[in-house]
Every structure is written in C-alpha cells, then in structure tokens.
Amino acid sequence: MRIRDQHALTFDDVLLVPRRSPVRSRRDVDTSTDLVRGIRMAIPIISANMDTVTESEMAITMARLGGLGVIHRFMTIERQVAEVLRVKRAENLVVEDPYRIAPTATVAEARRLMDEWGSGGLLVMDAEDNLLGILTTRDILFEDDETRPVAELMTPRERLVTAPPGTSLEEARKILHRAKVEKLPLVDENGRVHGLITAKDIVKRRQYPQATKDEKGRLRVGAAIGVKRGERERAEALIRAGADILVLDIAHGHSDNALDMLKWLRDTYGEDVRIMAGNVATAEGVRDLAEAGADAVKVGVGPGSICITRIVTGFGVPQLSAVIECSEAAREYGVPIVADGGIRTSGDLTKALAAGAQSVMIGSLFAGTRESPGRIVQRQGRRYKVTRGMASLGATMSRQDSAEIDIEQVVPEGVEAMVPYRGSVVDIVRQLVGGLRSGLSYAGAYTIPELQANAEFVPITLAGMQESKPHDVEVL
C-alpha cells in the first residue's frame, strides 16, 4: 500500500494564469489538432461512443464542423456498418459506388431504398451495369401506383447530362450550373458508370470548408468495438465499411483483455487501421497501450457526469491530474491523448488541452441535442432527452447478449438520467470553440501546442471557484 504525495486535481480545482498576449483577434488562432497519428481535425472535439450520443446523424454533423463522431457498438454488426456507411456516403468528391436500382423495380421499392439509404436519387441500371436513367424523389413524389416500374418514371439515359471519368469538381460545377441539374453521372464511352458527382456535395464543401475528411473527400468517422473475441468480426466488418478509426471501448483499458485485442488488431491489419484505445488514468496505462500499437489513448476513469465507477469500485484519478500524467508519458511515443469525460464548459475544454490532451471526448453535454439518438420527452413543461452510462443497468440489459445476463449479478457503474434539450449540437460546438479561441488568446498562444507550452495552473479554493461564477447578482 502507498499514498501518492501530490493531491490529484480536477478542472474546478484550478485556473489558468493569464499571460501577455500577441493575439489581436480570436480569428487569428488555430484550433486544429491531431486526432490520431496521421489524421488531423480542425477542432479538438469528439462525440462519445454512447448509445444516447452518437449515431450517424451526430457523426455527420461533428465531422462537418471539423471534429469527429464515434458510432457506438451497442447494436448489431450490420446496423453499425450501416451507420458508418451513412456517414461515409454523406459527402464525396466522387461517389464511387452510387446507389442503384433495376428498371423493373417498383415505386414502393424505390421509396423504401431512398428512405433506407437517405438518398434523393437512384441510378437505374441493367444487369450489365449500363446506365438507363436516373430516378429522383421528385419523379415519384405524387405517384399513387406503388406497383408501377421505375423505368416508366425515370429520366431516361438520352435526356441525362453526363460527363466522362476524370472530370474535375470545378468542371462538374460548371456543367451542373449550365444544365441546371443536381446529379452528374461519370460515364465512359461504353455506357459504364464510373461514379457520380452531386451538386449537394459541391455545396457542402463550400459550406463546411473545415470538415474532417479522408483523401476521397468523404467525412471521417470512428466506430467502437469491444475486446471480447467475438468483436473481431465486428472490427473486420467496420474496416471493410470504411471506418477511419476503431475505438477500443472498455472502461478499464489497462487490462490484458484490451491489450490482447489491440495486439491482434495491429498484427492482423498492420498500419492500415488507426486505433484509439482506452480508457486509462496512469502513465503506465498509456505506455502499455502505446507499445501494443495504439494510435491514440483515451484518458478518464470515472469523470463523466453519469459514471459512478469511482463510487462503486473506489478507483479513479481526478481528470486534470490524469491528463497531465498521461500526456507526459504519451509524448515519449508521439501518441495523442483524448481527455474523455468531465467537460461541461469551454473553460474545461481549454484546461484539458492545456494539461496535454490533443482533443476531448464529450458525452452528456451532447446527449440533449437534436442530433443525438432518442426522442425528446416532456416533463413539467420542459423538454429533455434521456442519457445513460454504458455501464448502467438499462444499457447492460439492452445489449445483444442480455439474455445470458443474470440481473442479480449486474453491478452498474453508470446511471440513467435526463438532460435538458439543447437544440442543435452545432450551437454547443460553436460556443465551446469560441471559448477555446478566447482561452488561447489569454494564454498568448496561437495554437494548442503553444497553449500547452505556456500553460501555468494555479490551484484555487472553494471560495475561488465561487468567485469565478456569477455572484451577488440575480442572473436574468
């Protein structure tokens, strides 16, 4: 038994000391950061792999804003793959494998596929992959006969505007504008389709210039997997679907189960897959995961608002101290740190980054947004959304293998709760990033690495924390 000499601290225990600043405008600072080795983001924010936080809608929005979303794993492999594909297809330079339908398919089938895929148009193609036409939502919008074949309603090949393979985005933009159409199939001289460029994708590129994208212009997305042997099938399916990062999802990441899975992934896929592993709260945990092949390490044992691991088990490290210790170890390996849990304000975000994290993962703060899964509920005239820790009783019993679980043996390490409905996550992210930009200016820093180099923390008392909040007034 031993007791560490230094008191462990969390975000409310400290403030950052202001420094002389050369920053003349918040617009001059750079909030970009390393997501994992080899991938950067414009903003240092990731939405958590929780079933009340991140599915495809949240992941698409986060990537467009310059961050990332991690699709949770508490669903079938097939559904998780579908969620990843929905993100990867949301935007493209060129849609390499456009959605298609046979000319004999019915209107009912076309509507079902459009709804399932979230697509406003389908290429009508024969069995030899020759382009016959395009069917859009407009073509079937007022069609009452559900059994009518799509060949009778499509825009036929001879009336389509097409372009050859290799057409640039700028050339495509001019063609779409001149022809006043929204979809441009890339067709060779033999009538074979090589891809599709859409007006929507060109508009999105202008609307979200800082979006987190891969080399093909597709939005990046992470996907969570577990550590049991059966999760190897999930990992393989997600990699095939194009997930940019696999997130090893286990509460105690410094365990042989996590290390074994990590080593298997690295041995099986080499450097072709990026892996974020965790969670840990010590330098030793970071070192072991980094040496096993992690491209980023998540830090945080028990800081989340709906996590009760520290109460149930007695284990954990206050988050600020955990991030400081882990980031020092991570620098030896060049591995980014993700501060996971405890972020409530832009001030917490700034402190986590100043302490050495390259990004933060946010759960409950995003759970109440329009983009998170789940319905809005009314209670006493106010609107809420439900959130829950992934080790809560409800989350445990809702898993695929719940039939094998003895409820009397379950010891929850999370709770279920309601959070106020907060509108779009876009507004929350903009507030967080705006506060971070101000924080960088107070530190005299233009970048996150400069913030870390300049950071000086000062411990505060409870009175100091109260002084930091509105006081002696009635807040409107």
Q: How far is CA 174 from the centre of its chain?
A: 33
Please give the DSSP secondary-structure letter assigned to residue 421.
-
* Helix (H/G/I), strand (E/B), else coil: 17: coil
Instruction: Please write down the HEC assignment for all residues of 75-131.
Output: CCHHHHHHHHHHHHCCCCCCECCCCEECCCCEHHHHHHHHHHHCCCEEEEECCCCEE
Annotated binding site for K(+): 302, 304, 307, 467-468
Q: What are phi and psi of 156, to 5 degrees?
A: -70, 160
Contacts of 122 (CB under 8 A, 6+ apart): 98, 99, 100, 101, 110, 113, 114, 134, 135, 136, 150
Tokens standing for 323?
A: 């991030």
Torsion over CA: 341, 342, 347, 353 (sign): negative
Tokens standing for 266?
A: 């690295």
Torsion over CA: 41, 45, 51, 53 (sign): negative
Annotated binding site for IMP: 305, 340-342, 363-364, 413
Question: Looking only at Cα atoms, what is the longest distance across the chain?
Answer: 80
Annotated binding site for NAD(+): 249-251, 300-302
Asked if residue 47 lies in contact with residue 69, where contact means CB atoms within 8 angstroms, the answer is yes
Integer angstrom CA distances of residue 223 from 80, 229, 425, 450 = 8, 17, 20, 31
Q: Partners of 45 in the beta sheet? A: 360
Asked if residue 390 lies in contact with residue 363, where contact means CB atoms within 8 angstroms, the answer is no
Residue type, 381: G
Annotated binding site: 249-251, 300-302, 304-305, 307, 340-342, 363-364, 413, 467-468
Integer angstrom CA distances of residue 121 from 109, 136, 182, 215 = 13, 4, 10, 25
By annotation, the residues acting in catalysis are 307, 399
Separation of alpha carbons 37 and 407, rounded Å: 41
For residue 170, give the nearest of 196, 194, 193, 202 by alpha carbon.
Answer: 202
Separation of alpha carbons 93 and 88, rounded Å: 11
